[in-house]
């Protein structure tokens, strides 16, 4: 039976693969069409994947090597901070990508309990979450506009994916305010649910002929 | 106002007509892809040079066929088109 920690690490790694595949299709779309909006999506999704993957790898390394608690605390704080910055930048790039195209008319693993109780870290995380929240609101509205303009299944999946990301960040922000580990874990699963919609979209594109 | 088709879109429209007809004459492509004769000849030459279509004589007329590379190109294009549409981009 897998522990919550292992489930979160596994979901983060699977999620990174999904994000990398979206990044790959964005690169293909950019090279095929020359539309530079896809360059921003390519960079944004790649950064999102890199942040999550590196964060997961740091936690796996810590779990396997079992260093002193102070090293675990320092490393997990740094890893969480780096992942948060990459996430903010990634959402910023995706938001810029959407804003550059007007055609449609119209976290990271297991911040440990030490990280959760570190006041300064909570403040930085909270600020990052607020930034992510507002960027995601913009992205969700753009995705909604795209969906309403064409009502295609692919754009619905993108909309649902980003909406669940938004819900995940909201849950994570509340978990930081209430210091609730349960809410934090719930936010990881909501994020993964969002990832499932992106995965469905990627599979649909990949198997189409 | 109708949006102008990109060059890529025009090339794909030509390939689609050839695919649907399972080999098409120049007049069929003219109507199917909605192009003037001069422009069509220019695009066909480009498709021939890139190895996406192949021409064969059938009696008096020339018939254009998709090559393996042309079929693969259309499959890839449809994937990109579907992906782009999900983000609101029409190619």
Q: Which of A33, A145, A157 is opposite residue B84, by nearest beta carbon?
A: A33
Q: Given CB atoms, is B89 within the 8 Å cutoff of chain A?
A: yes
* pLDDT given for residue A122 in this prediction: 65
Phi-psi region of A19 (alpha: psi -120 to 50; beta: other; left: phi over 0): alpha
* pLDDT given for residue A2 in this prediction: 64
Instruction: Give 10-residue mean pLDDT values along chain A (209 residues).
Output: 75 89 91 86 93 86 82 80 87 87 46 51 73 90 90 92 93 83 87 91 85
Which residue do the tokens 């994937």 mark?
Answer: B79
* pLDDT given for residue A120 in this prediction: 63
Banded pLDDT at B85 (limits 50, 70, 90): confident
Distance from CA of B57 to the nearest CA of A (A): 29
Q: Which of B8, B83, B88 is opposite residue A146, by nearest beta carbon?
A: B88
* pLDDT given for residue A111 in this prediction: 43
* pLDDT given for residue A185 in this prediction: 86
User: Helices A4-33 and A181-207 meet at what angle, rounded to 10?
Assistant: 40
DSSP state of A42: H
Q: What is the dihedral of CA B19, B25, B28, B31, to 10 degrees?
A: 110
What is the rounded CA–CA span in Å between residue A12 and residue A107? 9
Distance from CA of B82 to the nearest CA of A (A): 6
User: In chain B, what is the straight-line distance between the N-terminal and C-terminal CA atoms, in Å?
Assistant: 17
* Chain B stretch 17-76, residues whose beta carbon is closer than 8 A to a beta carbon of chain A: 75-76
In this structure, the strands spanning B24-25 and B53-58 are: unpaired
Banded pLDDT at B14 (limits 50, 70, 90): very high
Distance from CA of A138 to the nearest CA of B (A): 14
| Contact assessment for residue A87 and residue A132, using Cβ atoms and an 8 Å cutoff | yes
Whether the per-residue pLDDT at B4 is higher than 50: the answer is yes
* pLDDT given for residue A164 in this prediction: 95
Distance from CA of B60 to the nearest CA of A (A): 34
Q: Which residues of B touch A154 (CB under 8 A)?
A: 82-83, 85-86
Q: Tell me, what's the ipTM?
A: 0.75
* pLDDT given for residue A21 in this prediction: 92
User: In chain A, what is the straight-line distance between the N-terminal and C-terminal CA atoms, in Å?
Assistant: 40
Q: Which of A37, A142, A155 is opposite residue B86, by nearest beta carbon?
A: A155
* Residue B62 backbone phi and psi in degrees, to 5: -105, 130
* pLDDT given for residue A68 in this prediction: 81
Considering only residues A171 and B3, tell me which one the structure prediction assigns the higher pLDDT: A171
Average pLDDT over residues B53-81: 91
* pLDDT given for residue A1 in this prediction: 59
């Amino acid at each position: 039976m897998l522990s919550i920690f292992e489930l979160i690490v596994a979901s983060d790694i699977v999620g990174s693969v999904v994000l990398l595949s979206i990044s790959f299709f964005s690169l293909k779309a950019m090279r095929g069409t020359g539309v530079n909006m896809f360059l921003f999506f390519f960079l944004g999704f790649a950064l999102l994947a890199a942040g999550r993957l590196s964060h997961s790898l740091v936690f796996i390394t810590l779990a396997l090597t079992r260093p002193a608690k102070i090293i675990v605390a320092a490393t997990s704080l740094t890893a969480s901070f780096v992942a948060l910055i990459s996430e903010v930048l990634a959402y910023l790039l995706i938001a810029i990508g959407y804003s550059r195209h007007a055609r449609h008319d119209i976290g990271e693993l297991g911040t440990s309990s030490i990280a959760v109780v570190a006041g300064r870290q909570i403040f930085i995380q909270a600020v990052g979450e607020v930034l992510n929240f507002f960027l995601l609101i913009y992205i969700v509205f753009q995705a909604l506009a795209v969906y309403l303009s064409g009502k295609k299944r692919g754009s619905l999946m993108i909309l649902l994916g980003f909406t669940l990301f938004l819900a995940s960040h909201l849950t994570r922000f509340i978990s930081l305010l209430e210091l609730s580990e349960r809410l934090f874990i719930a936010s990881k699963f909501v994020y993964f649910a969002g990832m499932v919609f992106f995965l469905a979209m990627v599979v649909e594109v990949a198997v189409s002929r | 106002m109708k949006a102008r088709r990109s060059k890529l879109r025009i090339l794909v429209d030509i390939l689609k007509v050839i695919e649907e007809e399972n080999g098409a004459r120049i007049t069929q492509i003219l109507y199917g892809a909605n192009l003037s004769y001069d422009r069509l000849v220019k695009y066909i030459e480009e498709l021939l040079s890139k190895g996406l279509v192949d021409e064969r004589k059938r009696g008096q007329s020339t018939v254009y066929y998709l090559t393996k590379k042309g079929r693969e190109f259309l499959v890839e294009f449809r994937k990109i088109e579907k992906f782009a549409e999900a983000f609101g981009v029409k190619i």
